Structure 1
Amino acid sequence: MDTYSFATSRQLDFPVFVKISNLTGKQRVIPQSTLLRHPEIKYVGSVQNPLSELYVTAQLWADSKPLGVPTQTAHTFFKGERSWNQWLELPVSIRHLPASAQLALTVWDLNPLPKDGRLDHSIPFGGTTISLFDDQGTLRRGHQKCKLYRTKEADGRTPSITPHIPAPRRPRRNEAPELANPEEAELDRLQKLFKKHEMGEIQSNEWLDQLVFKKVAEKTAAVDEAARKRANLRKAAKRRAQKAMDLSNGKAPGKVDSDDEFESEDEIDAEERFALHIDLPRWDFPVVFADHEYDIPRSIRDFQSMAPGSGSSTKAPPEVRFGPGIAGLNGTLDDEDYPVIRFFDPEQFQRENPCETKHRRLVRSERNAQPDTDMKPNAKLRDELNDILAYGPTQDLSAQEKDVLWTFRRHLSRDKRALTKVVKATDWSNPKEAQALTDLIPKWAEIDVDAALELLGPTVDSPVVRAYAVDRLRKADDNELQLYLLQLVQALKFETHEADSEGLSSSSLAKFLIDRAAGNFNLGNFLHWFLMVECDDRGLDANASDRKLFARVEYHFMLELEARDPQQRKILLKQAEMVAVLQKIAKDIRFGRDNRINKIERLKKFLADPKNDLATLPTPIPLPLAPEYIVTGIIPEEANVFKSSLSPLLITFKVQPVAPATTPSTIATPTPAHPSKYAIIFKTGDDLRQDQLVIQIITLIDSLLLKENLDLKLTPYRILATSPISGAMQYISPSIALSAISTRYRGSVTAYLQQHNPDPNAPLGIRKECLDNYIKSCAGYCVITYILGVGDRHLDNLLLQPNGKFFHIDFGFILGRDPKPFAPLVKLAKEMLEGMGGNTSTEQYKQFRQYCFTAYTALRKNSSLVLNLFSLMVQSSVQDVRLAEETTGLQQRNAAAGEPGAVGGGGGYGGAVGKVRERFHLDVSEEEALRILDQTLSDGANAFFGVVNDRVHEFVQGWRA
């Protein structure tokens, strides 16, 4: 599908212009009998001279009301034709035009003998009205031919009696319908083609165009003359019919002999065929009408943020019954006599239902509770509570469920799963309920980390609850905390910070992260870079308040490092200097006009230059991407520039691992160790935060599966965004893309694995450990990419290592987005299947399915943790997460307005969290979820469009090369 580019009318702060070109048509000769009966007509300018001086006025109208004052053309002396060729500027800009805007154009004649002694000598020669937006809401542009209605002033009302394109003529009574003229239809078709030619949509040919224009002009003159003859024939036939009628009635036929007694205005227009030609500005793109976008009503925003779940259910618009006969448009009938109309009530989300409010107060009143504060539920209520506690973090609670949870909150304090549910059930606007839960929280059973992350999300603003969640995180070790650090940094946006406070609260999340990061260099390294990227984010999705918040946290982090360990702060500054140098050379190489060979030589020369201090660093520093390695320098000889539009750099560092007992203060001077290499890809011009998020989730999933004693041989390589438009990623070597295997080994993954791991006695001739690595890693990445909705999968971003480990790269499309049509939900290419025996009936494929089922079952058990991590990212600048949130927000606004087809709430979160939740299938049993996964794998293995997309991608890449 071709790309369609357009602009909206709201974007054009430009006045409305119209060019009055010329007037075409042939004025009829007024009979002498008419001039004798009306002697004042012969003094009209156009009657005395067919090229008399006329002028044109233009005025904007909308909804039957004028917009601004009219403008008119300057005096023009006509020679051969009435041609003005003047641009008129109207006092209204395009951005302020309503959809019903139309342009009323009147051609004025002069009469020295005005009626009734008026001083104004102008009389209308003719008028026409043209709408500025067509039926599709697109602003008209280019040349326009408008029919002129003689002796009428342009009518700007709606509907207009002077439209620029007249309606088809209706035959009179006892008159045969007029057949369509094929010559006029052909001229209309040519006129549309001329307009396309004028707009540049049809290629021009100068000598041929001149011939066509000449022939069409001759044809137009002939058609006009034929139309005038037909009008005269109709007029003569009407005159004969009138005379015959007079004879039959006994009247003398000579009594009626003047033409004006027989001619109507339509007949005069048909004979003269006057048309006013105008030109409207030409734009590079179509301009589509866009109305003013009003902000969401405060009532809807308050309602959406009122429930603890981010995907709150919007109420259906109220149904109001009116009296008989007061049904609006599109009203639905409740019964025959009383129709029902739906409309939006702005108070429905601001004022509570008094009945519901009273009921909740009665249910939750302490006076109605039993004296025993340790009230226990009966068997039926216990089963109901167990069902509620089994809900996922994205499940909304009904009013009845909230009442049950609140009633038995003390009993539920022994269950660690219940705290998040009771927090949702609490009415925090009620001081008594808020205080009651605040007193109960310290006695609650210790919650898990996933519950603590949920309490730090955007739906909880109670400082007490958030402080309790932070206390739970204090018990997590540094390695576990590093898994969630990316989301915890985003959770800082949901905290309330005192504007006039100089320090940080001891119970705040920011203070906790700073204290832990100051005591562990690896944690501090990533916290520093995560904060710096957010401070530097000035995209459309970022705002100044968030940048100020992250800058404040970074400032306090630097103060803490200066107080505890100044050497660690200097290390972070040296890292920033090295990254700045790499970013500069990457930008120079990217925008350089040299070919790739010269770019590589230029890069090597820059890295080897002693002035840049890169070949051998003056002071070894930890690598920002992997701080457990100390960088001592860069190997210029192994530098490379990849063949891509962004020209990514391949940089190989000389590194040595940090001793386990090393403290932050001694990192800069590591103990001697055997040197090794660490290769990275550094690129600028691309936002790596989305890839960074996906790799972090893959790392987390790998740790969850290892806890279940399931090692799927995943390869969660490192990615670190160093700014919103640059970053570094670990280069896995040796590895090869499946596209290269398809070329070198004729699509045989088996041949590639046999070459590196031969074993004639093993299945498929591949060493058992290698084949196990391949099957397990394929299963792991199929399940992970399915859950995360990774798109744009092709053979170039599917890589394989010689030891059999398979992995994915390039996560530019996630959460179900895919630029390729009809892409399968799971990428299971035939090249991947070939490494398992070539079809879905082999023993290797059965092992692959079993690993997929085992991994999927284990991840469903830990789905709350994954969902909570995504819920903390809902306000991040990650592209697809932000896009999912904006799409869901629009659907919720449409649902609140009662628009058909809109998504209203009803069952949990929307946006990114909802899309991940859909892939977990938490609303069905485990057996049904595995059946859905099995069907998805089968569809991926048999997907026809997946093969087509791969071949199209190969063709495009080959053509670009």
Structure 2
Amino acid sequence: MDTYTFATSRQVEFPTTTPYTILLKHPEIRHIGSVQNPTSELYVTAQLWAESKSFGVSVQTPHLFFKNNRTWNKWLELPILIKDCPVSSQIAITIWDISPCPQNGSISHTVPFGGTTIPLFDDDGALRRGRQKCKVYRRKGADGHLSSTTPHVPRTKRRKRNEEPPPIVPEEEELERLEQLFKKHEMNEIPQNDWLDQLVFQNVGKKAREVEEAARKRSSMHKASKRKAAKMRADRIETQTGSNGTADESESEEESDDEEHFTLYVDFPRWDFPVVFEDHEYEPSRMMREFQSTLSSSILGAKPPPPEVRYGPGIAAGNNVVDDEDYPVVQIFDPEQFQRENPCESKHRRLVRSDRNALYDVDQKPNAKLRDELNEILSYGPTQELTPQEKDVVWTFRRHLSRDKRALTKVVKATDWSNPGEARQMAELIPRWAKIDVDSALELLGPTYDSPVVRAYAVDRLRQAGDAELLLYLLQLVQALKFEDYGTKEEGLPPSSLAKFLIDRAANNFKLGNYLHWYLMVECDDQGPDTNAINRKLFARVEYYFMLKLEDRAPEQRKTLLRQAEMIAVLSRISKEVRFSRSNRIQKIELLKKYLADPKNELLKIEPPIPLPLDPEIEVCGVYPEEANVFKSSLSPLFLNFKIATPTDTSLATQSRSETQGKYPMIFKTGDDLRQDQLVIQIIELMNNLLLKENLDLKLTPYRTLATSPTAGAVQFIQSTAISAVSAKYKGSVLAYLKANNPDETGPLGVRKETMDTYIRSCAGYCVITYILGVGDRHLDNLLLQPSGHFFHIDFGFILGRDPKPFAPLIKLCKEMVEGLGGTMSPQYAQFKQYCFTAYSTLRKSSSLILNLFSLMVQSSVQDIRLVEEQMGGIGGAVAKVRERFHLDVSEEEAVRLLDQVLADSVNAVFGVVIDRLHEFVQGWRA
């Protein structure tokens, strides 16, 4: 039989009733619920506090009936999100008791049973999680001030003079250690074992009861000794002075308060990982930025002081209290300054645009003064913002302006799309607007326009563009997909969306579909640190629907794109193996030829012929392994000669017939992002088309470039010679090179007239275009010249004014180029300048189109655009750089004079010559 366990009455030291002296002082406590019943029905309230002020309303537990102990087991959800809580947040928890006698004239019949305050974040700034043990302070409501009087962990009491520290009890220390282990066990940081855990819990519980009993006995003995010492001290004082020793009563009251020890266990949500506090950093206002820049410029090396912030009474940092009498003027840093709309201007705009004026606006026409003002507003570039006054004028005469196709973008900017009335009026007016041009439609697809009505209208206007024109803007239109909201629950794409339009057009034109496929695939594969996973998912979704469209309408085209991907994958693998091979260049060339000739790679003979991804109008049926080469570069680019299939040779081709086919030379390399070069070449091709429309042929050479992944791509190879090689072979004379390849005694400077004219035009065209795009890092190795006189640039690793070399001229017009023109005093140089001025003026007329294309690229992964955006501190930095080179704020004559000055400075630039000589020295040392 199990032994009986019992206790004797002599071991129970608790009073049978409330002490009579306390009942005399507080007779109402005999009616309090917790005095009548040890498991009375209490309830708990919790409220969030921060900076000594309540932070939201309190919440409480529902009514519960307790049987054995007070356990609520209820989650309390505070009405404040964790992300909105400051680091000083505290939860004030109060346990309320029932009392029939209200206190302090209150009509409430609740009194605090006890309270405790626990910070939301611990000392390390981590969010509390799991079970927390809180001390309950009897008959006190929770205090939520910064220096709380009810902390969940009691503060160590200050010892009196000559008072010995309390003895250290090993059992209590061990119990505290076990409690920490139990908390880790609850957080699953310690492996669980059910049968062993039950034994441990039982033994630890038994040990805890023993420690608690021992602590109670020590406390009783300590209080008895203090009571005896106090009585002896009171008798001595009474003998000397006859006083009645009131201090003993207060001490006895304090002792009675300390006799009751209650603990509240609070469960915080458990997280699989620590949640660390992070504050929201507001962007400093315009006033603070100007103040800091002024101060830093006046005091070199001195850090500007932080903004002065003063608090009101009771809200000081730490435990200090600041009085308003000492600081009558309170200065507070307002992070929303200059970032929110002026309420006065907002009220004015609502009055001006109210529905009462709608009927009046229908037939309203501007007078002569307002007409001039409207014409000036319509002449603004696409990146120029409108003032509130200009927006009001444009909105007032919106119906009058509906006949002008230039005005739509300005009216859309002036519309408050958050106002349902204005949005409804514009939705009704836009379909009746004069048909806008394609460049205006591109502007409406930019990141600043999010209205579905506006974007649908812009897509509708793009339908008037042909496939050839659409191909010029395709790179930017793919980037514009980021600015549309297609939703996540819809199946398919909206009929009016840009993605649906591009897919439909690309499915009917293989050339368009080829480039759309590769542009989308590169964005899907971009895993860089600056990319967005949401954008990658968006591009993958568009590519998926494009493949579905091809599967339904043109399954052969889909198979062709898959074959292209297989060929590019093989070339990428070969390029990486050659690049990382620990061999010299000769051995790498032999290794490349071996790979190309290997039938397993399926490059020697491609059956049936496949359109080349770089140029889908060219079908290739294999490569020439013996003509392959590896360039001198750290990335070891591959030179490949593809066999061009003749129209009659689209089926199986014999080896004898393929030997007579044409060749398509191409460069393929890995380890380099070609998207920036791809963008520059696309802009050059666009500018060439704009110039040709004005009957100005500048003999440009926009060779093809295609990025097949974020780190690989293909480039069309143009047979040419670098200016550095021309200078070395012909003793610095480009003119001698032109004479050697195109001699004509009757021609200008002894060169055939057509060749010299081509050289003059191409030099002028590339000088203007590289100036507008801010192309940098120009040296004699990336300036190429063909025997026919075609001059062109390659390697666009630095654009938008970025240049690794200091003091580089704005236009690369070296003395070798000028020498080929016969010098600065020759008629050829005068003709060159005239072509420059004509081309610059022509491109300025189409500046809106070029700026709109760059505005669609502001969130792309093009390296220099991303860097310029970060340096400028906002969206539109790259557009501003291009707009600056157009000089749109001056007249055409003044802009031409500015370009003339830039040409003169570039010709006379001494530092450019030093840079070229230094580059030649470095290249020679590397060779």
**What is the TM-score normalised by the length of structure 1?**
0.63
Equivalent of 2:539, from 536, 550, 555?
550
Provide the residue aligned with 2:600 in structure 1. 611
Provide the residue aligned with 1:53 in structure 2. none
Amino acid corresponding to residue 683 of structure 1 in structure 2: K
1:296, CA displacement in angstroms? 5.5
Q: Summarize deviations over 1:924-952 as a string: whole Å, max 9, x none.
A: 11111111100000111110010000011
Provide the residue aligned with 2:743 in structure 1. 758
- In 1, the alpha carbon distance for the partners of 2:841 and 2:627 equals 44
Inter-CA distance 608–633: structure 2 relative to 1 (3 Å threshold): same
1:742, CA displacement in angstroms? 1.1
Equivalent of 2:770, from 785, 788, 793?
785
Q: Aligned Cα RMSD in Å? A: 3.1
Provide the residue aligned with 1:20 in structure 2. none
Provide the residue aligned with 2:403 in structure 1. 414
- In 1, the alpha carbon distance for the partners of 2:485 and 2:291 equals 36
- In 1, the alpha carbon distance for the partners of 2:621 and 2:484 equals 40
Amino acid corresponding to residue 901 of structure 2 in structure 1: Q
* Residue 791 of structure 2 corresponds to residue 825 of structure 1: no
Provide the residue aligned with 2:201 in structure 1. none
Amino acid corresponding to residue 940 of structure 1 in structure 2: S
* Residue 376 of structure 2 corresponds to residue 403 of structure 1: no
Provide the residue aligned with 2:149 in structure 1. none
Contact 2:607/2:652, CA 8 A, preserved across alignment: no
- In 1, the alpha carbon distance for the partners of 2:702 and 2:330 equals 57
Instruction: Give the secondary structure class of the aligned counterpart of 1:807.
Output: strand
Equivalent of 1:810, from 795, 804, 809?
795
Count of residue pairs the alignment pairs up = 631
Equivalent of 1:875, from 859, 874, 890?
859
Contact 2:403/2:433, CA 8 A, preserved across alignment: yes
Structure 1: any 5+ residue segments left out of the alignment? 1-90, 94-115, 121-291, 301-312, 320-327, 333-337, 660-665, 893-908
* Residue 858 of structure 2 corresponds to residue 856 of structure 1: no
1:613, CA displacement in angstroms? 1.7
- In 2, the alpha carbon distance for the partners of 1:406 and 1:658 equals 58
Contact 2:858/2:876, CA 8 A, preserved across alignment: no
* Residue 923 of structure 2 corresponds to residue 957 of structure 1: yes
Equivalent of 1:693, from 672, 679, 684?
679
Inter-CA distance 822–340: structure 2 relative to 1 (3 Å threshold): farther
1:830, CA displacement in angstroms? 0.5
Equivalent of 1:566, from 555, 568, 572?
555
Contact 2:666/2:715, CA 8 A, preserved across alignment: yes
For residues 496-575 of structure 1, the aligned pairs below 5 Å read 496-575=485-564
Contact 2:608/2:650, CA 8 A, preserved across alignment: no
Q: Summarize deviations over 1:428-478 as a string: whole Å, max 9, x none.
A: 110000110010000000000100000000000000000000000011100
Q: Summarize deviations over 1:780-832 as a string: whole Å, max 9, x none.
A: 00000000000000000000000000000000000000000100000000010
Contact 2:607/2:651, CA 8 A, preserved across alignment: no
* Residue 703 of structure 2 corresponds to residue 730 of structure 1: no
1:658, CA displacement in angstroms? 6.2
Contact 1:318/1:343, CA 8 A, preserved across alignment: no
Q: Summarize deviations over 1:903-934 as a string: whole Å, max 9, x none.
A: xxxxxx74100000000000011111111100
Contact 1:317/1:345, CA 8 A, preserved across alignment: no
- In 1, the alpha carbon distance for the partners of 2:433 and 2:521 equals 37
Amino acid corresponding to residue 830 of structure 1 in structure 2: K
Instruction: Give the secondary structure class of the aligned counterpart of 1:799.
Output: strand
Instruction: Give the secondary structure class of the aligned counterpart of 1:957.
Output: helix
Instruction: Give the secondary structure class of the aligned counterpart of 1:918.
Output: helix
* Residue 458 of structure 2 corresponds to residue 459 of structure 1: no
Instruction: Give the secondary structure class of the aligned counterpart of 2:811.
Output: coil
* Residue 366 of structure 2 corresponds to residue 377 of structure 1: yes
Q: Summarize deviations over 1:575-626 as a string: whole Å, max 9, x none.
A: 0000000000000000000110011011111111222221111221000000
User: Larger relative CO (CA 8 A, sep 6+): 1 or 2?
Assistant: 1
Contact 2:705/2:713, CA 8 A, preserved across alignment: yes
Equivalent of 1:394, from 383, 387, 407?
383
- In 2, the alpha carbon distance for the partners of 1:775 and 1:718 equals 23
Q: Summarize deviations over 1:322-373 as a string: whole Å, max 9, x none.
A: xxxxxx97999xxxxx999997423435653221111101111231355461
Provide the residue aligned with 2:706 in structure 1. 720
For residues 941-956 of structure 1, the aligned pairs below 5 Å read 941-956=907-922
Contact 1:629/1:657, CA 8 A, preserved across alignment: no
- In 2, the alpha carbon distance for the partners of 1:340 and 1:883 equals 43
Amino acid corresponding to residue 477 of structure 2 in structure 1: L
Provide the residue aligned with 1:485 in structure 2. 474
Equivalent of 1:365, from 350, 354, 357?
354
- In 2, the alpha carbon distance for the partners of 1:849 and 1:464 equals 46
Task: Extract structure 1 runs of 4+ deviating beyond 6 A.
Answer: 116-120, 313-319, 328-332, 338-343, 666-674
* Residue 329 of structure 2 corresponds to residue 345 of structure 1: no
For residues 440-451 of structure 1, the aligned pairs below 5 Å read 440-451=429-440
- In 1, the alpha carbon distance for the partners of 2:305 and 2:699 equals 63
Instruction: Give the secondary structure class of the aligned counterpart of 2:645.
Output: strand
- In 2, the alpha carbon distance for the partners of 1:295 and 1:859 equals 45
Instruction: Give the secondary structure class of the aligned counterpart of 1:813.
Output: coil
Amino acid corresponding to residue 707 of structure 1 in structure 2: K
Inter-CA distance 523–331: structure 2 relative to 1 (3 Å threshold): closer
Amino acid corresponding to residue 957 of structure 1 in structure 2: Q
Inter-CA distance 938–119: structure 2 relative to 1 (3 Å threshold): farther
Contact 2:672/2:711, CA 8 A, preserved across alignment: yes
Q: Summarize deviations over 1:640-660 as a string: whole Å, max 9, x none.
A: 00010000000010013669x
Instruction: Give the secondary structure class of the aligned counterpart of 2:781.
Output: helix
Instruction: Give the secondary structure class of the aligned counterpart of 1:681.
Output: strand
Inter-CA distance 807–657: structure 2 relative to 1 (3 Å threshold): farther
- In 2, the alpha carbon distance for the partners of 1:881 and 1:455 equals 21
- In 2, the alpha carbon distance for the partners of 1:794 and 1:589 equals 28
- In 1, the alpha carbon distance for the partners of 2:347 and 2:786 equals 66
Provide the residue aligned with 1:167 in structure 2. none
- In 2, the alpha carbon distance for the partners of 1:811 and 1:330 equals 43
* Residue 889 of structure 2 corresponds to residue 923 of structure 1: yes
For residues 329-340 of structure 1, the aligned pairs below 5 Å read none
- In 1, the alpha carbon distance for the partners of 2:745 and 2:332 equals 75
Contact 2:610/2:621, CA 8 A, preserved across alignment: yes
Amino acid corresponding to residue 702 of structure 1 in structure 2: N
- Percent of residue pairs bearing the same amino acid type: 71
Instruction: Give the secondary structure class of the aligned counterpart of 1:678.
Output: strand
* Residue 732 of structure 2 corresponds to residue 747 of structure 1: yes
Amino acid corresponding to residue 870 of structure 2 in structure 1: E
Inter-CA distance 844–92: structure 2 relative to 1 (3 Å threshold): farther
1:315, CA displacement in angstroms? 11
- In 1, the alpha carbon distance for the partners of 2:328 and 2:781 equals 61
Provide the residue aligned with 1:277 in structure 2. none
Instruction: Give the secondary structure class of the aligned counterpart of 1:794.
Output: coil
Contact 2:361/2:399, CA 8 A, preserved across alignment: no
Inter-CA distance 369–464: structure 2 relative to 1 (3 Å threshold): closer
- In 2, the alpha carbon distance for the partners of 1:722 and 1:843 equals 45
1:314, CA displacement in angstroms? 9.7
- In 1, the alpha carbon distance for the partners of 2:281 and 2:611 equals 48
Amino acid corresponding to residue 541 of structure 1 in structure 2: D
For residues 275-354 of structure 1, the aligned pairs below 5 Å read 297=282, 344-348=333-337, 351-354=340-343
- In 2, the alpha carbon distance for the partners of 1:329 and 1:296 equals 17
Provide the residue aligned with 2:140 in structure 1. none
1:888, CA displacement in angstroms? 1.4
Inter-CA distance 329–737: structure 2 relative to 1 (3 Å threshold): closer
Equivalent of 1:475, from 464, 467, 471?
464
Instruction: Give the secondary structure class of the aligned counterpart of 1:780.
Output: helix
Instruction: Give the secondary structure class of the aligned counterpart of 2:619.
Output: strand
